């Protein structure tokens, strides 16, 4: 598959790709992306809805104990670790008062790795990034952009070379949505996919 055929199909499916995590404050995005590891965005939105409404500032969130955070997020996976990370992130961000456009700082926050930092940099600061989540990792292989043996870093590197830099953030969001709703892990919708005779899955 060449780049143009991929971008044009993704554009036809997702004209305006959006982040499906709900947030109204910059720090809420950091917290929600951390919470979304190995959990659906819907699950995260469900637990943060009341939490962010009731505690609508870093100062208010900081009044919560880890146990209290657990009580809000206990329906999502790894909630104990995530509650600790949540508390740690709130404390660190409160120290400086804002979310900086700084990958090194973001990756130093508890529970925040390269992928989470990339999502935050792309959505809050429009920094060209490629966050390789499980969907992007799987779809890139099926589309023949990466090879079976490529790890996450190699995948990111290849995606950055394959697509133009000014396309990275848009294509990244589109690949996530494509993997979530079309090129799913099980039973992908191949009948309607224009790549079905070249796809590496077949
Ligand atoms: S043919 Fe199926 S597996 Fe291949 S890219 Fe399309 S939806 Fe995904």
Confidence at 1, pLDDT banded by 50, 70, 90: confident
| Percent of the chain residues past pLDDT 70, beyond the cut | 100
Confidence at residue 65, expressed as pLDDT on a 0 to 100 scale: 98
Mean pLDDT along residues 36-50? 96
Selecting among 11, 87, 102, 115, the annotated active-site residue is 115
Whether 11 is catalytic is no
The CA 22 to ligand 1 mean position distance, Å, reads 28
Confidence at 202, pLDDT banded by 50, 70, 90: low
Contacts with 202 (C-beta within 8 Å, 6 or more apart), sequence order: 190, 196
Q: Which atom of ligand 1 is nearest to the CA of 189?
A: 7
- DSSP 3-state of 20: coil
How far are the Cα atoms of 8, 145, 163, 165 from residue 2, in angstroms, in the given order?
A: 10, 9, 10, 16
Whether 115 is catalytic is yes
Mean pLDDT along residues 51-61? 97
Residues 70-84: pLDDT tens digits? Answer: 999 999 999 999 999
Q: Which atom of ligand 1 is nearest to the CA of 199?
A: 4
Residues 150-199: pLDDT tens digits? Answer: 999 999 999 999 999 999 999 999 999 999 999 999 999 999 899 998 88
Query: Whose C-alpha lies nearest to ligand 1, atom 4?
Result: 199
CA torsion sign for 184, 140, 5, 159 is positive
Mean pLDDT along residues 27-54? 96
CATH numbers and ranges of domains, the chain = 3-17+130-192 (1.10.1670.10), 26-125 (1.10.340.30)
Pocket around ligand 1 at a 6 A CB cut-off: 142-143, 182-183, 188-190, 193, 195-196, 199, 201
The CA 187 to ligand 1 mean position distance, Å, reads 10
pLDDT at 100 > cutoff 80: yes
Confidence at residue 105, expressed as pLDDT on a 0 to 100 scale: 98
Chain Cα centroid distance, residue 98: 20
Higher pLDDT pick, 181 / 200: 181
């Amino acid at each position: 598959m060449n780049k143009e055929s991929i971008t044009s199909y993704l554009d036809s499916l997702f004209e305006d790709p959006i982040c499906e995590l709900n947030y109204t404050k910059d720090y809420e995005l950091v917290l929600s992306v951390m919470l979304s590891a190995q959990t659906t965005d819907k699950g995260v939105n469900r637990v943060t809805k009341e939490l962010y409404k009731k505690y609508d500032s870093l100062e208010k969130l900081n009044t919560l104990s880890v146990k209290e955070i657990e009580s809000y997020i206990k329906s999502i996976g790894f909630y104990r670790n995530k509650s600790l990370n949540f508390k740690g992130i709130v404390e660190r961000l409160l120290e400086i008062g804002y979310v900086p456009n700084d990958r090194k700082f973001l990756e130093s926050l508890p529970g925040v790795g390269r992928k989470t930092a990339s999502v935050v940099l792309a959505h809050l600061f429009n920094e060209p990034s490629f966050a390789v989540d499980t969907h992007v990792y799987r779809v890139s292989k099926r589309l023949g952009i990466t090879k079976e043996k490529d790890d996450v870093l190699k995948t990111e590197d290849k995606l950055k070379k394959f697509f133009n830099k000014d396309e990275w953030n848009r294509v990244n969001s589109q690949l996530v949505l494509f993997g979530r709703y079309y090129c799913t892990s099980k039973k992908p919708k191949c009948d309607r996919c224009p790549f079905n005779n070249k796809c590496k899955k077949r």
